[in-house]
Chain A
Amino acid sequence: MPLRIFFLAEAAVKDPYETLGVERGASPDDIQKAYRRLAKKLHPDLNPGNKKAEERFKEVSAAYGLLSDADKRAKFDRGEIDASGAEQPQQRFYKDFASEAAAGNPYENYSGFADFADSDNILSELLRRSAHVRARGADVRYHLPIEFLEAVTGETKRLTLPDGETLDVAIPAGIQNGQVLRLRGKGRPGIGDGEPGDALVEIAIKPHPFFAREGNDVHLDLPVTLSEAVLGARITVPTPTGAVTMTVPKGSNTGTVLRLRGKGILRRDGSHGDELVRLKVMLPERSDPELEAFATKWESGKAYDPRRDMKP
């Protein structure tokens, strides 16, 4: 019994300077710095499982409570009060409440482990049985390459997941490259009665051999013959939704852009972009004697200099 009393007394008179690790003559500023340094390490809410840290923090707070008050500090230095006079009332820390598994705690946050709880069968099974724990399942990301024309017209694609399950992805017409489709509830199952996560499907549109896309307009370089360009013609032009007939005006040239209204890609508001057809005049693939004969005697053609603007 005497032994215990001895211990209690010893604890009560622990020197506050020693507790904070400062000299007797330390300035208030040094005392505050020492307290902050220790509090950062020992604050019970930052060490929720460490009883020793909590005990130490209480000692440190008590010591600081005594030494940060000039009046009390002076009395202590003169020996008029001892360190036990600075005992603080019992404080309940936040951790004490957070560990009481109160249902519907708004601060609950399971993002620290939701991923491995999903992927580990034993853990997820254990969690499923526990009534307290509920967390939303994790989102899963997929990458889905689609054809250019599938992006234009829309399409339902079937994804086969690593576990053999399949997932039907409805791709809306007019989807953009890099757009992410969110399939609600198609991610990992939730924990407890938590709702499942989402599947996030990122769309990658493969390039097309001759169509290019800019926003909701489709660009097409269209080869035309010399005579179609010079004399004008009605020609057939491919669009993403099928071929249409278009008039090439007389006197068209390489670089002439013709607009097919509404033949582009569906916009969100329900209207369509345009197809922009850029003409490219093509000479015959093999040399043509008739054309050569014409070019030789074509005087006015020789006077035309298409490079006049490039002259230094």
Chain B
Amino acid sequence: MMISKQEFLVRAQLERETLEAWIQEEWLIPGKSTGELTFSDADIARAQLIRDLRSDLGVNDEGVGVILNLVDQVHGLRRVLTEVLRSVRSRA
């Protein structure tokens, strides 16, 4: 389910400038459809994570980028581990 930038700003409770800065930093990578930015539910959850990091966990802007990168790597690893386990099971 993709939503427009307008709807994303409302649902993620973000200012336009903040969103632009986050896209600039590649913390968020929206999709593009007929020239308009589109966002997913995953982007909303990711925006919430960024907000948690900055407000509740006291992480500064440099730290947010580092953490997101590591979080993305963890998910890459989890995905592969899932695939590997599935492969192993299907052979067993």
Contact = CB atoms under 8 A, between A and B. Distances in A.
A132 B79 contact: yes
Interface residues of A, number: 38
Interface in B25-60: 29, 31, 40-42, 45-46, 48-49, 52, 56-58
Given A36-B57, A108-B72, A93 B49 contact: yes
Given A97-B42, A98-B75, A127 B49 contact: no
Contact of B87 (A49, A94, A130): A130
A134 B87 CA distance: 15
A102 B42 contact: yes
Nearest to B31: A106
Contacts of A109: 69, 72-73, 75-76
B61 interface: no
A127 B78 CA distance: 13
A293 B55 CA distance: 94
A294 interface: no
A101 B80 contact: no
B71 interface: yes
Interface in A91-113: 91-99, 101-102, 105-113
Interface in A124-154: 126-127, 129-130, 132-133, 135
A97 B47 CA distance: 12
A135 B88 CA distance: 20
A112 B58 contact: no
A43 B52 contact: yes
A123 interface: yes
Q: Chain B interface: which size bin?
A: 20 to 34
B3 interface: no
Contacts of B67: 46
Contact of A36 (B45, B58, B72, B83): B58
Nearest to B47: A94
A36 B56 contact: yes
Contact of B71 (A45, A113, A129): A45
Nearest to A91: B48
B74 interface: yes
B48 A130 contact: no
Given A45-B71, A107-B29, A109-B69, A127 B83 contact: yes
A126 B73 contact: no
A138 to B, nearest CB: 14
11 contacts: A39-B56, A46-B67, A48-B74, A92-B41, A93-B48, A106-B31, A109-B72, A110-B73, A126-B87, A133-B79, A133-B80
Interface of B: 29, 31, 40-42, 45-46, 48-49, 52, 56-58, 67-69, 71-80, 82-84, 86-88
Given A46-B67, A97-B46, 14 more contacts: A46-B71, A48-B78, A96-B45, A97-B45, A98-B42, A99-B75, A99-B78, A105-B42, A107-B75, A109-B72, A109-B73, A126-B84, A130-B84, A130-B87
